[in-house]
Structure 1
Amino acid sequence: MILTSEIERFIEEDLGANDISCTLVPEKEIKAIVFVKQDCIIAGIPIAKRIFDYFGLDSSAKYKDGDQLGSGDTILEISGNAVSVLRAERIVLNFLGHLSGIATNTREYVETVRQYSDVKVAGTRKTTPGIRKFEKLAIIAGGGDPHRFDLSDTIMIKDNHVNMMGLENAINSAKELAGFTQKIDVEVESVENAILAAKMGVDIIMFDNMSPGQVIKVVEALKNEDLRNSAILEVSGGIDISNISEYAKTGVDVISVGSLVHKSQWIDVSLEFV
């Protein structure tokens, strides 16, 4: 969902105080299409429709987020005032291009992993400030898991927490403060800490910046202690399309990948009057 206040912020940024270029065209009713110029997984259609609606434009789409589109396919058909179409154009195209790039990139990661296992491919909080929720929805459209949307979703104990408090103290403090719906996700860098976290009953154990070989050793150690199924096992750090297949073979449950967003490439999307 995109809020009216968000749309107005984007409009203010794009139009400025003296928009002459859009008002050059006559105030007349026109029809237009938005189409892709390359194959992609589409994302951002509900946002685009909401922006067009804000400008008083009618829009329709025969596709939904997550659909595969080919070059030249029409995403949306629009009708309404020509000036309003031009004012909505760049905001809509920016969202569709950026979010479809994330969805397309995510789908590639997911399909690569599916050749080896059914492990989840998840995002991270390495997102663009101000539009995180939209980028997370694009990950979902691509078949990935959004992971936590913000710090309140899950309590994550990271290396800095451990360095300051010690792992055991950090976990105990998290348990005392956690609401009954909040899971505790602990970042570990050693077999010993993974076993300790599992024995203390955390919900998720995240192997941080470990090689695939190191991850396999930790998973085996947890199995030997009969702790493998005591927590969700997650791996993150330094993972991209070149090595994700190796992590998919390690036996973890989740692979968290920041590059779903920060290594995605925009999809070429265009609008034309018809």
Structure 2
Amino acid sequence: MMPEDLPQDRPLDEEWLSRVVATALDEDLGGWPGRDVTTQATISPDATVTGDIVVREDGVVAGLGVIAETLTQVADRFGLVAPTVKAMVADGDRVAAGTVVVGIEGVGHVVLIAERTILNLVSRASGVATHTRRWVEALEGTPARVLDTRKTTPGLRELDKYAVRCGGGTNKRFGLYDCAMVKDNHIVAAGSVTGAIAAIRVAFPGVPIQVEVESRDQAIEALDAGVRFLMLDNMTPAAMATLISELRNRDPEYGSVRFEATGGLTLETAGAVAASGVDFLSVGGLTHSSPILDIALDLH
């Protein structure tokens, strides 16, 4: 099965979330259990607070599960009671500036120590989800879907790709292990498109294969070698439309072929690219260039 065919409603992996929050807290607190020299010096450990996680700009929220996990881990580190968390919205919801997305009540030490880790992760995830939603909206009315890539922040791929799903996008492969993707350097190393495909089938039989092509000749070579997923790299919409039309007319010969546009795509050109007949548009910028969504913690 191609990665694009996997369910796109998968929740954030809980084991991953626990690990990444622990790493982030170690980074912020200087190890286990660590310390917050400002909060622990200026606020009584018995003091309680109430507050809200508030979005400062319109967007799509994602990663809200980070909040309870972070508060729980901070409480465990310092032998305190975890604050209560009340979610007002759900991941994937579009919200307006000023919306309270989560209410928090509990020990002030826990809330303030957890604050930055929470905001770093939720703001990032929500930024990716918001950017992804813009692409989904640009493709409305077409059958094309927007895909993410492996251009993620190291260590945060699970969160980045979850955020893409929250924004309505589709996950492409998660790593180098779940799908073979033949690109120009692989073709050079193997000597040809055909050679690269044959080598993969010998070494990893049963692994799905996709091939990035830059010309009609490479596309035909990949199809003749049995691949049925072509990535059309840096082609104009007109060139893609011509090639896709020709190959769709050869369905009796090749069967169903799926096409992905890749390279240099923008929101302004998304509609024209989709009109070429591609099934997917892959956009590395969903995860490598999305600005964060401005989110803050406001204590009452």
164-173 or 12-21, which deviates more: 12-21
Structure 2 CA distance for aligned equivalents of residues 35 and 200 of structure 1: 53
- Alignment length (residue pairs): 272
Query: Aligned runs of 1:124-273 on 2, under 5 Å?
Result: 124-165=149-190, 166-180=192-206, 182-226=207-251, 229-273=255-299
| Structure 1: stretches of 5+ with no match in the other structure | none
Structure 1 residue aligned with 2:59: 40
Structure 2 CA distance for aligned equivalents of residues 60 and 128 of structure 1: 29
TM-superposed deviation, 1:142: 0.3
Structure 2 CA distance for aligned equivalents of residues 254 and 5 of structure 1: 33
Structure 2 residue aligned with 1:85: 111
Amino acid at match of 1:231: V
218-227 or 252-261, which deviates more: 218-227
1:205–1:234 CA contact under 8 A, matched in 2 = yes
Say whether residues 1:50 and 2:69 are aligned partners: yes
TM-superposed deviation, 1:234: 1.0
User: How big is the alpha-carbon RMSD for the aligned residues of Structure 1 and Structure 2?
Assistant: 1.6
Q: 2:144 aligns with which of 119, 123, 126?
A: 119
Give the secondary structure class of the aligned counterpart of 1:114: coil
Structure 2 residue aligned with 1:75: 101
Q: 1:119 to 1:229 in 2, by over 3 A?
A: farther
**TM-score, normalisation: structure 2:** 0.86
2:233–2:262 CA contact under 8 A, matched in 1 = yes
Structure 2 CA distance for aligned equivalents of residues 69 and 22 of structure 1: 31
Structure 1 residue aligned with 2:43: 25
TM-superposed deviation, 1:179: 4.6
Structure 2 CA distance for aligned equivalents of residues 168 and 203 of structure 1: 13
TM-superposed deviation, 1:131: 0.5
1:219–1:228 CA contact under 8 A, matched in 2 = no
Give the secondary structure class of the aligned counterpart of 1:240: coil
TM-superposed deviation, 1:172: 1.0
Structure 1 residue aligned with 2:26: 12
Deviations 1:177-225 (A, max 9, x none): 3353x31011111101111212222141111111112211221231343
Structure 1 CA distance for aligned equivalents of residues 289 and 92 of structure 2: 19
Give the secondary structure class of the aligned counterpart of 1:21: helix
| Structure 2: stretches of 5+ with no match in the other structure | 1-12, 75-81
Structure 2 CA distance for aligned equivalents of residues 35 and 192 of structure 1: 53
Q: 2:136 aligns with which of 90, 110, 118?
A: 110
48-57 or 68-77, which deviates more: 48-57
Give the secondary structure class of the aligned counterpart of 2:37: coil
Q: 1:101 to 1:3 in 2, by over 3 A?
A: closer
216-225 or 100-109, which deviates more: 216-225
**TM-score, normalisation: structure 1:** 0.94
1:31–1:78 CA contact under 8 A, matched in 2 = yes
Amino acid at match of 1:220: S
